[in-house]
């Protein structure tokens, strides 16, 4: 038997487009003499459809799309995910299901039992969990079908769940397991995925065919990396990351377990590729083409510009250089050099006159008051206004360049440097931004060296440096990581050796700046805990205040 895995990039709600793509790969699988072709979780409608699932018309279109796939299944078996209407009155209206279709008929449907409702997942909002499990037979083989999370409760040891679907399915002695997934990317998730699959294989002693979606759906990025694992625990094949593709596997070879093809793992390289995927799909799926951003000569805007150019092409990226009276000559020169290196359009607009006009209007009201954050923010908002003017006039979508460290502690100006349609680096700590810059420059100097080595500064007042307001980024990022990703409280972080006053100050800054993050652009998610849909904090609260 030959099993094909097609890891594809779906568009939520684009039923015609998804059906066309799935049908194309069904035909490719037929040409490759595959007996079964496996697609991803909710492939019919795209994942995650969220509240679209509450529209009866959306479900009707999904059912119509599934009928078209059924018609295309002559001579091959097709395994893919789709929502299913719950026929009973009790419970949620839908199931999250995997379908086994062949020769123009639906042969088997298995519903998802374990519905993740944590971090970015909210499946219990929409779906009823499965309570019945059974295998199917096809061409002399017994097959167990599962959906994504259903393989993440090995031996019923996951405290989130009380059911282990494979413990039930294995009693029917399947010859192999197929899992259809939509498992979002984070830079450490590929290793976790392999560990989970290995634990399943060790427990059940059968081969696994794991198909994962690829591509970005706004902030969520899916990396593909579909896996075929032999019953002896060997990785028969881990498919490429961030690439639409199909591969065909001979079941006898998988059973023998004599090959090992795993993708290399590198956090920064994966973050780099994920961000490019995120930008490309955000623009492509929304029908946008051109981006704009402010290029300051600093490292954050430099990395963002490179990512945008690599995702969209030089002709589709434009930058504004907006020096103030506090900007150094080398910042302008560094920004100009990067724009030339990337072959992107750039314009220089000095903002001193605009800033002076604001101060002239405000002067009578501010007379006798010291220059402070007010004047700094006016400069940032002047820049934001200029960028949005270009965005409106020329149709370029503004990319936000703030990093996760800055967003965490509120080191940014609402309606100024926090403006934008998409946050490119909002889930990348400052220390990771430096690593990304060095990765970009690994073969040649793309980002000018001075942008990487100079002390970071917003350049909104004389001789300003980030370190005037914040601790060194390696210290700051460690504290933020423990609080945000690891959810450690202040005393736990202090016990790690950090200064108590600093810890309390930093954590308080994180909490009191939640209102800013509520008003910023969607953040491309590359970590296990990003700002946005996966981190739900109250704006008003007293914890650590």
Phi, psi of 253 (to 5 degrees): -70, -40
Positions of CATH 3.60.110.10 in the chain: 2-263
Strands 422-423 and 397-400, by their bridges, are parallel
For 142-183, give the DSSP string: EEEEEEGGGGSSGGG--TT-S--HHHHHGGG--SEEEEEE--
Q: Quick one: fold of 2-263?
A: Nitrilase/N-carbamoyl-D-aminoacid amidohydrolase (3.60.110)
> Would you state the pLDDT for residue 468?
76
Structural contact between residues 7 and 245, judged by C-beta atoms closer than 8 angstroms: yes
Confidence of residue 545 (pLDDT cuts 50, 70, 90): low
Catalytic residues: 41, 112, 148
CA pair distance 375, 330, nearest whole angstrom: 23
The pLDDT of residue 273 = 98
What are the tens digits of pLDDT across the range 29-74? 999 999 999 999 999 999 999 999 999 999 999 999 999 999 999 9
State CA 352 to chain mean position distance: 38
pLDDT in tens, 66-112: 999 999 999 999 999 999 999 987 899 999 999 999 999 999 999 99
The residue whose two tokens read 């579909």 is: 226
Distance from C-alpha of 451 to C-alpha of 333, rounded to nearest angstrom: 10
The pLDDT-based confidence of 470 (bands split at 50, 70, 90) is confident
Q: Where in the chain is the domain with CATH 3.40.50.620?
A: 270-466+513-517
Give the whole-angstrom CA distance, residue 101 versus residue 82.
12
Q: Is 404 exposed, middle or buried (0-12, 13-18, 19+ CB in 10 A)?
A: buried
Architecture of domain 270-466+513-517 in this structure = 3-Layer(aba) Sandwich (3.40)
Q: Is the dihedral of CA 331, 333, 336, 337 positive or negative?
A: negative
The lowest-confidence range among 176-185, 372-381, 400-409, 459-468 is 459-468
DSSP 347-407: EE---HHHHHHHHHHHHHHHTTPPP-HHHHHHHHHHHHHHHHHHHHHH-PEEEE---HHHH
SS3 461: coil
Distance CA 443, CA 446 (A): 9
Q: How far apart are CA 385 and CA 391, in angstroms?
A: 10
pLDDT at 319: 98
In whole angstroms, what is the distance from residue 515 CA to residue 517 CA?
6
Could you tell me where the DSSP H helices lie in 45-188? 56-71, 165-169
User: In terms of Cα–Cα distance, which of 298, 292, 268 is closest to 440?
Assistant: 268
d(CA 220, CA 206): 31
By the 8 A CB rule, do 151 and 197 touch?
yes
């Amino acid at each position: 038997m030959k099993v094909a895995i097609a890891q594809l990039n779906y568009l939520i709600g684009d039923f015609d487009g998804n059906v066309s793509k799935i049908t194309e790969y069904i035909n490719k699988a037929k040409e490759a003499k595959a007996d079964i072709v496996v697609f991803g979780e909710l492939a019919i409608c795209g994942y995650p459809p969220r509240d679209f699932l509450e529209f009866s018309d959306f479900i009707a279109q999904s059912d119509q799309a599934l009928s078209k796939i059924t018609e295309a299944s002559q001579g091959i078996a097709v395994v893919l995910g789709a929502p299913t209407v719950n026929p009973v009155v009790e419970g949620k209206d839908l199931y999250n299901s995997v379908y086994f279709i062949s020769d123009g008929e639906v042969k088997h449907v298995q519903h998802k039992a374990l519905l993740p409702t944590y971090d970015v997942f909210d499946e219990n909002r929409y779906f009823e969990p499965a309570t019945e499990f059974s295998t199917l037979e096809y061409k002399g083989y017994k097959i167990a079908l599962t959906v994504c999370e259903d393989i993440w409760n090995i031996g019923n040891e996951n405290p989130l769940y009380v059911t282990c679907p494979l413990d039930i399915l294995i009693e029917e002695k399947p010859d192999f397991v197929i899992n259809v997934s939509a498992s979002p990317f984070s830079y450490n998730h590929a290793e976790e995925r392999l560990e989970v699959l290995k634990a399943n294989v060790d427990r059940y002693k059968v081969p696994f065919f794991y198909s994962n979606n690829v591509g970005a759906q706004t902030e969520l990025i899916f990396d593909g990396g579909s896996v075929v694992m032999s019953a002896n625990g060997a990785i028969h094949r881990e498919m490429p990351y961030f690439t639409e593709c199909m591969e065909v596997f001979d079941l006898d070879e998988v059973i023998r377990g004599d090959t090992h093809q795993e993708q290399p793992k590198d956090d920064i390289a994966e973050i780099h590729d994920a961000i490019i995927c995120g930008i490309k799909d955000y623009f492509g799926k929304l029908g946008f083409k051109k981006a704009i951003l402010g290029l300051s000569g600093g490292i954050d805007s430099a990395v963002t510009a490179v990512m945008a150019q690599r995702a969209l092409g030089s002709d589709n990226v434009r930058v504004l250089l907006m020096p103030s009276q506090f900007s150094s000559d080398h910042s302008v020169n560094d920004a100009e050099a990067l724009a030339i290196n990337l072959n992107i359009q750039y314009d220089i607009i000095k903002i001193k006159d605009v800033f002076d006009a604001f101060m002239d209007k405000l002067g009578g009201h501010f007379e006798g008051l010291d220059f402070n954050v007010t004047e700094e923010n006016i400069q940032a908002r002047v820049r934001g206004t200029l960028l949005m003017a270009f965005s409106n006039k020329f149709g370029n979508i503004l990319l936000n360049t703030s990093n996760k460290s800055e967003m965490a502690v509120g080191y940014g100006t609402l309606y100024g440097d926090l403006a934008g349609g998409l946050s490119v680096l909002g889930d990348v700590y400052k220390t990771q931004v430096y690593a990304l810059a060095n990765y970009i420059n690994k073969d040649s100097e793309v980002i000018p060296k001075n942008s990487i080595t100079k002390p970071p500064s917003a350049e909104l007042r004389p001789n300003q440096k980030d370190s005037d307001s914040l601790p060194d980024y390696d210290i700051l990022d460690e504290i933020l990581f423990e609080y945000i990703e690891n959810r450690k409280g202040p005393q736990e972080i202090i016990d790690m050796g950090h200064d108590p006053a600093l810890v309390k100050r930093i954590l308080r800054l994180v909490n009191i700046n939640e209102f800013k993050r509520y008003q910023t652009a969607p953040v491309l998610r590359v970590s296990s805990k990003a700002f946005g849909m996966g981190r739900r904090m109250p704006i008003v609260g007293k914890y650590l205040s």
